[in-house]
Amino acid sequence: MPVTTIAGRDIHVDDEGFLTVYDEWDPDLAKRLAAQIGIDLTDAHFKALTFLRDDYATQGETATLRRVSTLGGIPTRQLFALFPKKPAKKMAYIAGLPKPHGCV
């Protein structure tokens, strides 16, 4: 399992850079991960990230975009505005979760 260093911390990641250890994530790390892909996090971003992490803890897999929109109450259009181009993949990356099934 590859390890990378972010902000002086060793973080376990997969070959694509997605975190592999759920408990290594925290909001500060999220800000740093987001900055790496050009996103400046706001409260609206954290609403989506919090839903994703809570849902992952109960479901055992990363939620799809449809699930975030339907159960998280965040319109798909807003998710695309917050996480441009590939929202599901970007949300999972910043939330410290595995890439959702079906994402390339």
Catalytic residue chosen out of the listed positions 40, 80, 103, 104: 103
Nearest to 83 by CA among 91, 94, 74: 91
Whether 103 is a known active-site residue: answer yes
In this structure, the number of other CB atoms found within 10 A of the CB of residue 88 comes to 22
Between CA 15 and CA 100 the distance in angstroms is 15
What positions carry a catalytic annotation? 103
